[in-house]
A and B are shown apart, each in its own frame.
Chain A
Amino acid sequence: MTLSGKAWTWVVAGLLAVMFLGTACVEGVGEFPAPVEEAPVPGVTDDEVVLGTHTSLTGPVAVYSQIALAINAYFEYVNETKGGVNGRTIKFLIEDDGYSPPKTVDLVRKLVEEDRIFALVNGFGTPTHLQVVDYLQENGVPDLFVATGATEWVKDPEARPMVFGSIPNYVGEGIILGQHIAETYPGLKLGLMSQNDDFGADGMTGIRRGVGDALDIVGEETHEVLDVDLASQVDRLHAAGVDVIAIWATPQHFATAVKHARLNLNWDVPFVLSLVSANELTVLLAGPEVIEGTVSLGYLKSAFEIDDPDVAKHHKLVQDYMGGENGNTLTLYGQYIGELVEESLRRAGRDLTREGLIEAAESITDFWCSICLGPVNTSPTDHDPVQGGFLVRAEGGRWVRFGDLVTYEGVLPGDMMVEDLTR
């Protein structure tokens, strides 16, 4: 060691200062000496239960912050009109990770260890939530109704008992849409387009299973999140002579694909798309004429159904508690999550424990939330609350339901999921 004495002092002082001033002082010097009498259940007091979430209030996908804000609005509504659940008001902490996984880890651990939340609700984003899902498992924190349809959340409830899905999982959704393709376009040529990650891979697994051998798959294209548009991919499918396209992409990407096909290629190939992009964002980005006739899946009522009393009530909720103008697909989804959490808390009873909440959340039977199109069912082997919906077709900038309620329940039973989906 060639360090001089002075430098040693400097290194040690610097690091110690950082280790202790940087950490302890943030907490407030007044707090540390008193051994805190730990509440038996984190986040639960006599009159309050604290829940938390991580979402993107900023960053490229900031638009999805509407979901968390709508959940919060619904909780405020429950607190005000019903006095909370089982005599406890709900406090909802929203942390902004900007869609960056290391920040998600920081903030979720802060929620759990500093803010002592009772449960995490509707964590947003597959890459972000993947980074914390096992942390929540290991620490026994309920991880309710994650805001994506990745099969990671639902494929093995025994290995990950804490985590629940919320939207139809992408494989299941793919199966339903694949079956629709098989029935509508038998014998034709199918092209696949998907995002190069779990989201796309899950969707394509489902589509393949749903289609079976009814169509020839003649083209498979993937794209990255940071691809600007999907024109090149669409051109390739066009050249391959595809008759129908199944696409798993974000609204932004889907909009560029369908716009390119219609406007630059004069190609009115039918698109079948994931429900992730069957919403107002796509309509605004691509325009109503361009998306006309595209088919997807819907499992909640739509924002345009203002004659429906529950949807009207939702718009009022958004105006009163969110300060927004009108609800949309994202806020409707937020209310659905809010109602699902309310139902789980109600079932868990007055004596709240984390185990009790998990038991409650996996024993929901035949629950119809006010804006649901089908029943919510869960069990200890089924953490996938909604397993189906109605096919929807774009007409004048709205995705309108057609046909009967379709489900992948039974097609994709618990055991089968674990084996078939572990890639």
Chain B
Amino acid sequence: MFLVAFPFLHEWPFFRLFLGEYRTFNATMFAVWLLVLLGMNLLTGYSGQVSFGHAALVLASAYLTAVLSQQYGFPLWGAIGLSGAATAIVGWVTIGIPAVRLRGPYLAIATFGLMLAFPQILKLNVLTQWTQGALGIRGGVVEPPGFLGDVLDGREWMYYVAMSMAVVMTVLFLNLTRSRTGRAFVALRDSEVGAEQMGVDVPKYKALAFGVSSLYAGIGGGLFFAVQGFVSPDSLGLIDSIFFLVAIVIGGLGSVLGSIVGALFLTFQSEAISALAGFVPGANNLRNVFYGASLIAVIVLFPKGIAGFFQRPLWPKLRGWNLGRLWSSRS
């Protein structure tokens, strides 16, 4: 376990050369997005619920972490854990349970409303003593603990923390999806009626999926604040929220690999589009056309996402499942 999380700790100069400063930051953000997308994938890929509002959960947890660590003197890591737990409960009770009756696009837009309204809530006069209104909350640089201070600088420490959290949570994710609970999620994604007939308590598991998913979003959000050192009501926007969903569908629903590919997509999208536009002179105004065309091309070529194409299915039974059944009224 230790070796997985700290693969080259004993060879740190090598590591530093290998990655470079910016790539270290990329890898750190990758870990953050991976956490968020694992949560999204659990919700959509495993339990069949669609959320456009996960950025609001991430933002909420980032804010909670910021308030706890900056204003109430909690240690940063404790604040992240606490915010993750709080977000999980909020997601479970206030979103998961009401969402039980909603499906497909109805759930998607209802959660999207959360994302639309949330920045306005953060700026409410009654909350500004904690949220600082539109100006946001600053975090500052996170220094490594004393005994590592000579070996790592702040950003490398951040990378190891984020990446090891991502690895631990990935392992937990795999365990969960293979447990009884995970199989219940899959059953209700494939057919709610069928799951009910098999004795799955559908509302309970749907709400639970939202809760677990929110836990991942919450830990991702806490790390988001720690990594970026700043959070404001505009730190994550509507487009980011939509692109979380785009990322897992492109990456591949229903597998960890899908979340990994999705997180890579989120991490490198702006750079990739920049590079793409750089190849064609005078194409600055066409960036979005390239971007949109690539999205469509990927989903047409890989209807089950990129992971779905490269990966042998872990559960042969799942091949050919169609989320569409839950989405529309067509028979």
Contact = CB atoms under 8 A, between A and B. Distances in A.
B232 A127 contact: yes
B325 interface: no
B208 to A, nearest CB: 19
Contact of B170 (A11, A26, A423): A11
B279 to A, nearest CB: 15
B201 interface: no
Contact of B7 (A14, A19, A196): A19
Contacts of A87: none
Contact of A23 (B23, B123, B178, B233): B23
B250 interface: no
Interface in A140-165: 152
Interface string A20-58: 101110110000110100000000000000000000011
A130 B264 contact: no
A370 interface: no
Interface in B240-291: 240, 256-257, 260, 263-264, 267-271, 273-274, 277, 284-285, 287-288
B4 A131 contact: no
B294 interface: no
B266 to A, nearest CB: 8
B271 A106 contact: yes
A221 to B, nearest CB: 14
A224 B257 contact: no
Nearest to A222: B123
Majority secondary structure of chain A interface residues (helix, strand, loop or mixed): helix
Contacts of A105: 29, 228
Contacts of B237: 99-101
Contact of A101 (B26, B175, B236): B236
A96 B285 CA distance: 11
A265 interface: no
Contacts of A423: 133, 135
Interface string A76-115: 0000000000000000000111111111011101101110
Contact of B175 (A3, A12, A24, A98): A3
B116 to A, nearest CB: 7
A96 B287 contact: yes
A121 to B, nearest CB: 18
Contacts of B263: 18
A22 B236 contact: no
B17 A14 contact: no
Contacts of B120: 196, 224
B140 interface: yes
Contact of A15 (B23, B260, B271, B273): B260
A138 interface: yes
Given A2-B178, A14-B260, A102-B240, A110 B134 contact: no
Interface string B314-328: 000000000000000
Residue with the highest number of chain B CB atoms closer than 10 Å, among A19, A98, A224: A19
A57 B288 CA distance: 9
A134 B232 CA distance: 13
Nearest to A17: B260
B230 to A, nearest CB: 6
A15 B4 contact: yes
Contact of B229 (A12, A127, A134, A226): A134
Interface of B: 4, 7, 17-23, 25-27, 29-30, 116, 119-120, 123, 133-136, 138, 140-141, 163, 166-167, 170-171, 174-175, 178-179, 228-230, 232-240, 256-257, 260, 263-264, 267-271, 273-274, 277, 284-285, 287-288
Given A11-B167, A14-B256, A201-B133, 18 more contacts: A7-B174, A15-B166, A15-B170, A18-B30, A22-B27, A33-B17, A57-B285, A96-B270, A105-B228, A106-B271, A107-B271, A112-B22, A113-B21, A127-B232, A130-B136, A130-B232, A224-B119, A226-B238
Which 7 A/B pairs are nearest by Cβ-Cβ distance?
Answer: A127-B234, A113-B22, A197-B134, A113-B21, A23-B23, A114-B22, A103-B270
Interface of A: 1-3, 7, 11-12, 14-16, 18-20, 22-24, 26-27, 32-33, 35, 57-59, 65, 95-103, 105-107, 109-110, 112-114, 127, 130-131, 134-135, 138, 152, 196-198, 201, 224, 226, 423
